[in-house]
Amino acid sequence: MNRIIFTTSQEAQKIKDAALLNKHCLVIEIDGKKYPTYNDYIRYMEKRLSFPRPCEEIWERYDDWMTDLSWLNDTEYVFIVEHYNDFLGKDADGKQCFYESFEKQILPWWESEVVDHMAEGHPMKMNVYLVP
C-alpha cells in the first residue's frame, strides 16, 4: 500500500539503505530546511526527476508530472523528507498542498488508478517518509 509515513531519522536511513539495494527503486531525498516554499520544492523536483518541461510555478503541472513519470524507468519510489517540521516553513498552504497531493492524488494513482486511466499503465510502489 502506498502511503505517507512519519518516521525517525534512524528508521528512514534503514529504509533508504534497503531501497538503494533495489536497482528498480529511485530514492528521492529532500532536505526540508532547503525548501521554504512549495515553489522552491517544485523547482527541486523538476530537476531531481528530470521533468520533461518545467511546471512554471503552476502546482497542477507538478501533479500531472508526478502521475506520469513515463520518462523514468523505475518501478518503485521512496521519498524521504528530512526536517519535515521546517519543510515549507514559509508556506503553510504549500505544505498542506504537498501532503494532500501525495495523499489524495499521487499515491492512489500509482497504487491502482493508473491501470484504469493510462494505456499500459501499471501500479508502482511509492511511499513518502516524513522525518521531523
**Could you report the per-residue pLDDT of 16-34, keeping only the tens digit for each?**
999 999 999 999 999 999 9
Rg of the chain over Cα atoms, rounded to whole angstroms, equals 14
Task: State the pLDDT at residue 41.
Answer: 98
Where residue 120 falls among pLDDT bands split at 50, 70, 90? Answer: confident
Mean pLDDT of all residues in 103-131? 96
Contact predicate 3/107, CB 8 Å: yes
- Residues 54, 78, 43: CA angle, nearest 5 degrees: 20
Lookup: cell for 14: 534503514
Task: State the pLDDT at residue 58.
Answer: 94
For residue 8, give the amino acid letter.
Answer: T
- What average pLDDT does the structure give for the chain? 97
Using alpha carbons, list the distances in angstroms from residue 67 to 23, 25, 61, 83. Answer: 21, 16, 10, 25
Of 18-22, 92-96, 115-119, the range with the lowest mean pLDDT is 115-119
